Amino acid sequence: MPGRVLLLLQAHPSSFDARAQARGQALAFARARAAGLDVVVLLDASSRLSGAEASVTALFTHQEEDDAWRHAHALSAAVAQEAQAAGLAFTARDVETAHPLELLSAAEAACDMVVLERGAATLRFLPHYLEDASRPCLLAGRQGTGPVLIAYDGGGASARALQQVLWLGLGSAGVTLLSLGADAEADVGVAARYLASHALAAQCVTRPLGGHPAAQIEAEAQALDPSLLVLGVRGRHGWRRALTGSTCQRLLHGDRALLLVP
């Protein structure tokens, strides 16, 4: 079972709902598995002023900086209080950086899963992070009442996604496997047999490839109302392209909770 979760939050003003989803989903996941929680609140230093421009607006920017730090401290303290109330082992820190990708890449080694809040600031670095990520990443979002939906393409990342669903203990609400294209029947059969070998029965859905794959995956999600949509971020060919491809990019810009497996 996983032993540690990393929750990365943005200190700058962002969607209250997105932040609440990330906090709630990270805490619920850790609490259900008695896992520890590492909370990092990011302050964006990339827009710092310098030189003459900075000297002219020094008082204003210092006030903004003080406000940002106060906000970050309050946010990390609130999450720490929730973790403590849930009986979780936790750490909390506020970090100012212009390079969130480097920070996240360094911090992931100490955890089993990364949880990120959805928003423009996260989406600026998330695709680059996932190119070389070593841990599954939960992009927090809307969770339905249906099963976990796994978009399976038969590639290595999809195979790891199946393993992570088992390792992270995510199959209790049921699992549906979705595969698209000419090889869908064969691909989904392999996936179903793997899950069955771990005593997890899965519903299998196959569709011919038609229209945009992201639209097909979203249509299935619309029908199933999944509690989580699981994707391997690197696939094989066609719609099975890398995360920087249009399929995953479109799904990243949706509102559903996504587990992204490198």
Give me the domains of the chain, ranges plus CATH numbers: 4-139 (3.40.50.620), 146-261 (3.40.50.620)
Using CA of residue 147, residue 152, residue 158, residue 162, what is the dihedral sign? positive
Is the model's pLDDT at 186 over the cut of 50? yes
pLDDT digits 0-9 by tens, 130-149:
888 999 999 999 999 999 99
Query: What is the predicted pLDDT for the residue at 222?
Result: 96
Query: What is the predicted pLDDT for the residue at 51?
Result: 45
Query: What is the predicted pLDDT for the residue at 49?
Result: 45
pTM, two decimal places: 0.89
Query: What's the whole-number mean pLDDT along residues 200-228?
Result: 93
- Residues 6+ away with beta carbon under 8 Å from 167: 1, 2
Q: Specify the amino acid at residue 142.
A: R
Query: What is the predicted pLDDT for the residue at 62?
Result: 65
pLDDT digits 0-9 by tens, 24-41:
999 999 999 999 999 999
- Closest C-alpha to 203, from 177, 184, 180, 223: 177
Query: What's the whole-number mean pLDDT along residues 178-196?
Result: 95
Question: Where residue 200 falls among pLDDT bands split at 50, 70, 90?
Answer: very high
